[in-house]
């Protein structure tokens, strides 16, 4: 079965078809769709299917795709895999756990192969309880603005990678790699055409995700959140990324039990690549659901595409992001520059590579299977 689609519409249709089949089998299942409904985003929806446990359930497993638009293609494939090959054939799975699948949180980004929304917002920098978020200062980013967000038509030039590498290495030597990464990745609220822009106001997704989560998490003790991503890490490998800080060590303890054979990065601070972001979905849901007395156990599943763990490769992928963002806002000097930039961007977040896609499905199957076992144990 090929779960990997090439357009937003076919990807959505495949998800809706899987959902329809599940509803046939499980009449208590609930499906719903939320229109984003604003300029440039007509006909775009966040879709969901909720499967309530047949017995009393302590856990709600929530699987989200496409917080970063283009990454939804792989996320959707994994959701279809879980729905068709786990939940549809085996009703025991929903005996003691409820499941919620949220498809394409940023459908604009998926449709147009961007990470961000139509307002250039990285959704994972746009979630918070209070709109004070938008007053967040990131002075270190401002200092790097020219390097990160050059303006004017983009024209591909020979040796530009090397020049970019040297320029950034000078900054890294000055600031240190940790400060450099933190400045870029934390998120910023002032440069509307810049990368990692968190917005000037909440995107519609903030309210939609809040409503969805509160509505379905209610009555459960724990929300086990799997947020599907691509682009960071060793190619073909799954990296589990936790929160940068857990308000309560028991949460991390519970997460480790759910993923006994996997390393949970970010929380394991010695893994090195640790940084803090503002406006993150995890922190928002964590705080929001605590108000509802639900413990959130959030993990991002990141499927690596580019081996961008080491400095050299991570700068190369940063450069691809910068070019795509510049081309989007200021245009390209010629067709070749556009073609190569969009192609590199697409390969970074949605590799057109059978082997990679197989690895993603295989690994997802294995880890999900293990997670289901651990949940079953915890429910006994
Ligand atoms: Zn992502």
Extents of the domains making up the chain? 8-128+201-305+355-379, 139-185+309-348
**65 CA from centroid of ligand 1 (Å):** 9
User: Span 2-6, mean pLDDT?
Assistant: 96
- What does the DSSP 8-state code read for residue 232? S
∠ CA 101-102-105, rounded to 5°? 160
**54 CA from centroid of ligand 1 (Å):** 33
- CATH topology classification for 8-128+201-305+355-379: Aminopeptidase (3.40.630)
Say whether 236 sits in a helix, a strand or coil. Answer: coil
Q: If you average pLDDT over every residue of the chain, what do you get? A: 94
C-alpha pair distances (Å), 126 with each of 119, 134, 143, 195, 298: 11, 9, 22, 13, 17
Q: Quickly list H helices, the chain.
A: 8-25, 72-82, 107-111, 139-148, 160-175, 177-185, 204-217, 249-258, 281-291, 311-330, 335-349, 354-379
**In the chain, count of helices (H) and strands (E)?**
12, 8
Residue 16 has pLDDT above 70, yes or no: yes
Band the pLDDT of 90: cuts 50, 70, 90. Answer: very high
- pLDDT single digits (tens) 41-75: 889 999 999 999 999 889 999 999 999 999 999 99
Say whether 231 sits in a helix, a strand or coil. Answer: coil
**28 CA from centroid of ligand 1 (Å):** 32
> What is the reported pTM?
0.97
**139 CA from centroid of ligand 1 (Å):** 24
The span from the CA of 210 to the CA of 380, in Å, is 30
**231 CA from centroid of ligand 1 (Å):** 7
Band the pLDDT of 267: cuts 50, 70, 90. Answer: low
Say whether 34 sits in a helix, a strand or coil. Answer: strand
**214 CA from centroid of ligand 1 (Å):** 23
pLDDT value at residue 234: 96
Residue 274 has pLDDT above 80, yes or no: no
Contact 364, 301 (CB under 8 A): yes
Residue with tokens 């090959």: 85
- pLDDT single digits (tens) 154-181: 999 988 889 999 999 999 999 998 899 9
**67 CA from centroid of ligand 1 (Å):** 7
**300 CA from centroid of ligand 1 (Å):** 8
pLDDT value at residue 243: 87
pLDDT value at residue 95: 93
pLDDT value at residue 380: 61
**58 CA from centroid of ligand 1 (Å):** 28
- pLDDT single digits (tens) 342-363: 999 999 999 999 999 999 999 9
pLDDT value at residue 268: 55
**95 CA from centroid of ligand 1 (Å):** 31
**208 CA from centroid of ligand 1 (Å):** 19
- Name the CA dihedral angle for 277, 282, 284, 290, rounded to a multiple of 10 degrees: -140
């Amino acid at each position: 079965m090929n779960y990997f689609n090439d357009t937003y519409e076919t990807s959505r249709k495949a998800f809706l078809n899987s959902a329809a089949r599940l509803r046939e089998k499980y009449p208590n299942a609930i499906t719903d769709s939320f229109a984003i409904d604003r300029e440039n985003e007509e006909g775009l929806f966040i879709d969901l299917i909720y499967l309530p446990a047949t017995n009393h359930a302590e856990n709600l497993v929530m699987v989200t795709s496409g917080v970063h638009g283009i990454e939804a293609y792989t996320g959707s494939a994994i959701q279809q895999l879980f729905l068709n090959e786990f939940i549809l054939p085996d009703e025991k799975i929903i005996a003691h756990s409820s499941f919620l699948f949220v498809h394409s949180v940023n459908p604009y980004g998926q449709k147009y192969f961007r990470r961000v929304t139509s307002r250039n917002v990285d959704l994972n920098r746009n979630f918070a309880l209070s709109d004070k978020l938008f007053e967040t200062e990131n002075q270190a980013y401002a200092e790097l603005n020219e390097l990160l967000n050059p303006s004017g038509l983009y024209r591909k030039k020979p040796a530009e990678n090397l020049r970019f590498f040297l320029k950034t290495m000078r900054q890294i030597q000055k600031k240190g790699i940790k400060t450099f990464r933190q400045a870029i990745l934390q998120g910023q609220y002032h440069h509307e055409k810049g990368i990692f822009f968190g917005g000037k106001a909440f995107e519609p997704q903030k309210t939609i995700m809040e409503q969805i989560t509160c509505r379905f998490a209610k009555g459960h003790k724990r929300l086990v959140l799997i947020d599907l991503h691509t682009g960071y890490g060793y190619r073909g490998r799954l990296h589990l990324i936790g929160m940068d800080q857990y308000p309560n060590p028991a949460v991390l303890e519970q997460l480790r039990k759910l993923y006994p054979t996997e390393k949970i990065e970010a929380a394991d601070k010695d893994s090195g690549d640790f940084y803090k972001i503002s406006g993150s979905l995890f922190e928002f849901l964590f705080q929001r659901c605590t108000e509802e007395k639900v413990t959130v156990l959030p993990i991002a599943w990141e499927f690596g595409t580019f081996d961008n763990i080491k400095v050299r490769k991570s700068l190369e992928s940063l450069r691809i992001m910068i070019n795509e963002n510049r081309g989007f806002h200021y245009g390209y000097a010629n067709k070749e520059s556009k073609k190569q930039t969009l192609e590199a961007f697409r390969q970074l977040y949605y590799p057109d590579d059978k082997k990679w896609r197989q690895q993603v499905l295989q690994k997802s199957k294995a880890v999900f299977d293990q997670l289901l076992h651990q949940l079953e144990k915890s429910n006994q």
